[in-house]
Amino acid sequence: MAQALTVPKVKLDRAWQMYIDGKFVNGTSERELINPADGKPLCKVQEGSKAQAEAAIKAARKAFDEGPWRKTTAAERAALLFKIADKIDEHAEELATLETLNSGKPLRESRYDMTDAAQCFRYYGGLATKPTGYTVDVPAPSVSSVVREPIGVCGQIIPWNFPLLMAAWKLAPALAAGNTCILKPSEFTPLTAIKLAELLDEVGLPPGVVNVVLGLGPQVGLPIAESELVDKIAFTGSVKTGKVIAQAALSNLKKVTLELGGKSPMVVFSDFDVDTAVDYALFAIYCNAGQVCSAGSRIIVEDKIHDQFVKKMVERAKKIKVGPGLEEDTEMGPLVSAPQFKRVLEYIEIGQKEGAKLACGGAKAEGKGLDGGYYITPTLFTDTKPDMRIVQEEIFGPVAVIQKFSEEKEAIDIANNSAYGLAGAVFTHDITRAQRVIKALRAGITWVNGYHSTYNECPWGGYKQSGWGRELGPNGLDAYTEVKQININLEPVAVEWFKS
Active-site residue 154, yes or no? no
Which residue out of 54, 99, 109, 259 is catalytically annotated? Answer: 259
Active-site residue 181, yes or no? no
| Rounded CA separation 318/378 (Å) | 7
Which residue out of 47, 293, 302, 408 is catalytically annotated? Answer: 293
Q: How many residues does the chain have?
A: 500
Q: Report the half-sphere exposure of 320 (CA within 13 A, side-chain side).
A: 32
User: Residue 420, class by beta-carbon neighbours within 10 Å (0-12 exposed, 13-18 middle, 19+ buried)?
Assistant: buried
3-state secondary structure (DSSP) of residue 438: helix
Exposed e or buried b per residue across 309-323, where buried means at least 16 C-beta atoms within 10 angstroms of its C-beta: bbebbbebbeebebb
| Rounded CA separation 185/216 (Å) | 9
Handedness of CA 463, 467, 469, 470 (dihedral sign): negative
- Which residues, in sequence order, are CB contacts of 89 under 8 Å at separation 6+? 114, 115, 118
| Rounded CA separation 77/123 (Å) | 12
Indicate the pairing of strand 463-464 with strand 420-421.
antiparallel
3-state secondary structure (DSSP) of residue 330: coil
Which secondary structure element, helix H or strand E, spans residue 25, and what is its range?
strand 23-25
Q: Active-site residues: which are they?
A: 259, 293
